[in-house]
Amino acid sequence: MSITVEVGLLSGKTAAMDVGLDEDIETLKCRAQTALGVGKGRLMDSSGGFLDTCALIKDSTVQHGDSLSLQISPVRVCGSFYAFAAILGDGSVVTWGLAGHGGDSSVVQDQLENVQHFQATQNAFAAILGDGSVVTWGHAHYGGDSSAVQDQLKNVQQIQSSCGAFAAILGDGSVVAWGDAHVGGDSRAVQDHLKNVQQIQASLCAFAAIRGDGSVVTWGHDQYGGDCSSVQDQRQNVQQIQASSRAFAAVLADGSVVTWGNAGYGGDSSAVHQLRNVQQIHAARNGVGDAFAAITRDGKVVTWGHVAAGGDSRPVQDQLKNVQQIQATGCAFAAILCDGSIVTWGKADYGGDSSTVQDQLKNVQHIQASRYAFAAILGDGSVVTWGDADRGGESSAVQAQLKNVQQIQATDSAFAAILGDGSVVTWGVADSGGDSSKVHNQLKNVRQLQTSSRAFAAVLSDGSVVSWGFAAFGGYWTRTVDSLVEDMPASFLLVPRAGREGNVREIPVDRFFNIFHMGPTYECPETKQLISHSVAFDRYLFGGEMGFNVEAQDFDPIGWSAGETLGSLMLDVVMLDLVLRENIVLRYYSLTREYGEVGVSARKMQEKCGSHVPGVDKTRILSIFGDETAAERVFLADNDCSQQLWVRSSS
C-alpha cells in the first residue's frame, strides 16, 4: 500500500510523490530531491519538525495528502592547511585532502549530522552540531581527538583555532581547550579566569580571550603571545584583538592599543606614539617576522613590527590619508584610499611596490592578497595584479578574460576569480591552483570559492563541488560531493591470487564501489583493454603518499578475503563489469609491509608490475565512457605521481 504526499521547496516548486508505507523517510527524501532537481536536504513535516530519515513511513507522522517541506541549505566549504570539509544541504559532511590531516572523516562519519559550523587547525577539523556538541577528526595531537574533554563540550557557541589546538566558548561563557598543549591546547593554568568570555583570537601558537568586563586572558606558548603579564595593568576595556603569527594587538575602548608577544612579530609597539583613536588593525604574517598596520579614525595609518614585513610605512606616510581598508601579503601592505587609489609598502617582491601598475589602480573596489601578491578589482570589473610575478603578481596571460569580476580568492601562490556569468579564471603557480584547465568545463555557475594552502574548492549553484590544485592539499578532481555516498548496483569478477586455489567468480553487489586508481594505467596493445593497477573499495580514504591508507581498511566489502591481518582485498586481478563495449581491468597488488611504507608510489607499483608502462590514451578513455547510457560520470585527473579514475555504473 502506498500514499501520496506533496514535497515543496521554499521557492514554491513542488512535486507529488508516491511512497510505500513500508519504505523509509530516506527513500522519500531521495526521490523528492531527484524530482525537484536539488541536492541533499532535510524533510520537514507540516508543523515544521524534521523527520527521522531512518523511520518507516507507517511509523512516522506522515499521512496521505500531507504537504512536506524539503529544506536545502547552501553547501559550505571550509579549508584547513591540507584538506577540505563541506557541509551538505542536509547537514552531513564530506571531506577530502590529506587523510591524516582532516581529509578523512570516516571514523566519525555517523556522528556528523546536523552540522552547523566548522573550524580548522592546520591538521584537523572541529564541527559544531545543532545540539551544541562537537565532533573532531584529523591529526589527534593537533585537535583531531577531543575525547579527553568530550563530556565538557556541550552548548558550544563558537570555536577558535591556533595551528594545532582548538578553544571552544560554551553557552555559560566558559572555555574548553584541546589539542597540542604547547600551542594552546591546555588552558588549565588560567581556567579559573576563563569566565564570561565573549570572543577568542589566536596567534599561531596561543590564544587570547576577551571577557565581558573587557579584560583579557591568554594561554599557550609564551613566545607567541601566550603570556601577557608584561602589560597586565593595561589590558582593560579591550574591544577587539588582532594577531600576527607570534603577537597580539588589542584595541581599547579609548582607541589606544596594547601589544604583547614576540617583538619581532609586532609584540612591541612602544616606539610608536601615534596609536590613538584606532579603529581597526591588520597583520602581515609570514612566520619569519610580522608587522601590524592600524587605521585611525581620521583615516591615517600607523605601522610597527618587522621592517621588512611592512612595519615601517614612513616612505609613504604622507600618502596614507583617508584610508578605507587594508590588505596584507606575507611581507607587504596595500591600502585603499577613499578616492579608489592604492598605496603600498613593504617588500617589493611581496607586493610592497605597485609602481609598475600605479596608473591602472583607479576606482579600486576591493583587494585580495595571496602570500606573495595582490589582486585589485576595479569599478568596471577588471583586475590589476602586482607582486611576485611567478606567484600571482602577473596576470597578463588571462587579462582578457578578467572582465566583470565579482570576487577573488587566493591560495598561498595563486588566485581564482569568479566572473559575473559564474565561470572562473585562475592564475599563479599551477600546483597551488593557478591552473584550472583540467576542470575548466565544470566551473560554471560558481557561487563561492574556498581554499586550503595550495588548492581551491568551488561550490556550484547545484550544490556540487569542484576542486583543483595540489592533490595532497585537497586539489582533487571534479566531483559531486553528494555522489560519494550514493549506492549503485554493480558486479565484480574476482580472480584468486597467484598460487592460491579458487575459481573466477562474478559477485553482484548492491552498491557501486569507488575505485581509487593508484596507477599506473596503460592500454594493452593486444586486447585493447585499459589496465589499471589499482584498488577497489566502498569509500574514499584520502591521505598518505598516494592518498590511500591500508591500515584504515577495517571491512571486507565483498565478503571474500584471504584473511591477512590488514583485511584489504587480497586479489591479483579485479575486473569491474560496467556492461560496456570493453572491460577495464584493475590489477590489484596486496599492499603488505613487505613493500615498505603503507603509501606505495607509482614507481614502486610499476616495479612490481615488471614492465614498461606507456602513457594512457585519455581521449580513448573518455570516448569509451561517452555513452551516457553506459556510465553517468567519468573524471580523470593527473597528480604528482599517478592518475585517479572514478566511474559509476548506471546499470
* Band of residue 169 on the pLDDT scale cut at 50, 70, 90: very high
8 A C-beta contact, residue 76 and residue 16: no
Of residues 619 and 44, more confidence is placed in 44
In the chain, the percentage of residues whose pLDDT exceeds 90 is 46
**Residue 463 to residue 76: CA distance in whole angstroms:** 9
User: What is the pLDDT, as a whole number, of residue 379?
Assistant: 94
CA 242 vs. chain centroid, Å, equals 24
Residue 137: how many CB atoms within 10 A of its CB? 30
Which range scores top for mean pLDDT: 81-95, 178-192, 597-611, 622-636?
178-192
* Band of residue 529 on the pLDDT scale cut at 50, 70, 90: low
For 528-535, what is the mean pLDDT? 48
Of residues 538 and 148, more confidence is placed in 148
CA-closest candidate to residue 218, choices 240, 191, 239, 198: 191
**Residue 218 to residue 231: CA distance in whole angstroms:** 12
Side-chain half-sphere CA neighbours of 404 within 13 A: 6
User: What is the pLDDT, as a whole number, of residue 197?
Assistant: 96
Q: Which of 11-20, 409-418, 512-521, 585-594 shows the lowest per-residue confidence on average (mean pLDDT)? A: 585-594
* Band of residue 62 on the pLDDT scale cut at 50, 70, 90: confident
User: What is the pLDDT, as a whole number, of residue 55?
Assistant: 86
pLDDT (tens digit per residue) in 474-496: 765 333 333 323 333 444 433 33
**Residue 159 to residue 167: CA distance in whole angstroms:** 6
Question: Residues of 363-379 as b/e, b for ≥16 C-beta within 10 angstroms?
Answer: ebeebbbbbbbbbbbbe
For the cut 50, the answer to whether the pLDDT of residue 506 exceeds it is: no
CA-closest candidate to residue 128, choices 95, 99, 167, 101: 167
8 A C-beta contact, residue 167 and residue 144: no
Q: Please state, rounded to an integer, the average pLDDT across all residues of the chain.
A: 76
User: What is the pLDDT, as a whole number, of residue 472?
Assistant: 64
User: What is the pLDDT, as a whole number, of residue 528?
Assistant: 54
Q: Would you list the DSSP string of 227-280?
A: --GGGGGG--SEEEEEE-SSEEEEEETTS-EEEEE-GGGTT--TT-----SEEE
- The C-alpha cell of 232 is what? 597586565
pLDDT (tens digit per residue) in 435-489: 999 888 889 999 889 898 889 999 888 777 888 988 767 765 333 333 323 333 4
pLDDT (tens digit per residue) in 621-634: 334 333 332 232 23
For 234-252, what is the mean pLDDT? 91
For the cut 50, the answer to whether the pLDDT of residue 643 exceeds it is: no
Whole-model pTM: value is 0.67
Q: From residue 149, how far is each of 111, 127, 143, 168, 226 by CA, in Å?
A: 17, 15, 11, 11, 21
Residues 6+ apart with CB under 8 A from 408: 366, 368, 375, 377, 383, 415, 416, 417, 418
pLDDT (tens digit per residue) in 199-242: 999 999 999 999 999 999 999 999 999 999 888 777 789 999 99
For the cut 70, the answer to whether the pLDDT of residue 120 exceeds it is: yes
User: What is the pLDDT, as a whole number, of residue 628?
Assistant: 34
Of residues 484 and 584, more confidence is placed in 584
Question: CA torsion, points 223, 225, 229, 232, in degrees to nearest 10?
Answer: 160
User: What is the pLDDT, as a whole number, of residue 640?
Assistant: 27
Of residues 159 and 466, more confidence is placed in 159
8 A C-beta contact, residue 635 and residue 583: no
pLDDT (tens digit per residue) in 289-345: 899 999 999 999 999 999 989 999 999 999 999 999 999 999 999 999 999 999 999
- The C-alpha cell of 128 is what? 559544531
Contacts from 482-489 at CB under 8 Å and sequence distance 24+? Answer: 482/39, 482/40, 482/88, 482/94, 483/633, 483/648, 484/94, 484/514, 484/539, 484/540, 485/92, 485/94, 486/512, 486/648, 487/511, 487/512, 488/512, 488/648, 488/649, 488/650, 489/649, 489/651
For the cut 80, the answer to whether the pLDDT of residue 644 exceeds it is: no
For the cut 60, the answer to whether the pLDDT of residue 517 exceeds it is: no
What type of residue is 146?
Answer: S
For the cut 90, the answer to whether the pLDDT of residue 185 exceeds it is: yes
* 564 φ/ψ angles, rounded to the nearest 5 degrees: -65, 160
* 585 φ/ψ angles, rounded to the nearest 5 degrees: -100, 125
CA-closest candidate to residue 546, choices 600, 596, 592, 500: 600
- Cα angle 332, 337, 339 (rounded to 5 degrees) comes to 145
- The C-alpha cell of 478 is what? 571534479
Side-chain half-sphere CA neighbours of 276 within 13 A: 2
For 394-400, what is the mean pLDDT? 95
Alpha helix positions (H), 55-163: none
Report the sign of the C-alpha dihedral through residues 217, 223, 229, 230, in that order: negative
Domains of the chain: 2-71 (3.10.20.90), 75-186 (2.130.10.30), 486-538+631-650 (no CATH)
User: What is the pLDDT, as a whole number, of residue 449?
Assistant: 92
- Cα angle 532, 534, 537 (rounded to 5 degrees) comes to 135
Residue 117: how many CB atoms within 10 A of its CB? 16
**Residue 292 to residue 594: CA distance in whole angstroms:** 53
Which conformational region is residue 434 in: left (phi greater than 0), alpha (psi within -120 to 50 degrees), or beta? alpha
CA 430 vs. chain centroid, Å, equals 18
8 A C-beta contact, residue 72 and residue 38: yes
Question: Residues of 257-267 as b/e, b for ≥16 C-beta within 10 angstroms?
Answer: bbbbbbbbbbb
* 3-class SS of residue 496: coil
Q: Which of 87-101, 310-324, 370-384 shows the lowest per-residue confidence on average (mean pLDDT)? A: 87-101
For the cut 90, the answer to whether the pLDDT of residue 74 exceeds it is: no
* Band of residue 54 on the pLDDT scale cut at 50, 70, 90: confident
Of residues 581 and 45, more confidence is placed in 45
pLDDT (tens digit per residue) in 307-322: 989 999 999 999 999 9
User: What is the pLDDT, as a whole number, of residue 645?
Assistant: 34
**Residue 330 to residue 161: CA distance in whole angstroms:** 20
For the cut 50, the answer to whether the pLDDT of residue 5 exceeds it is: yes
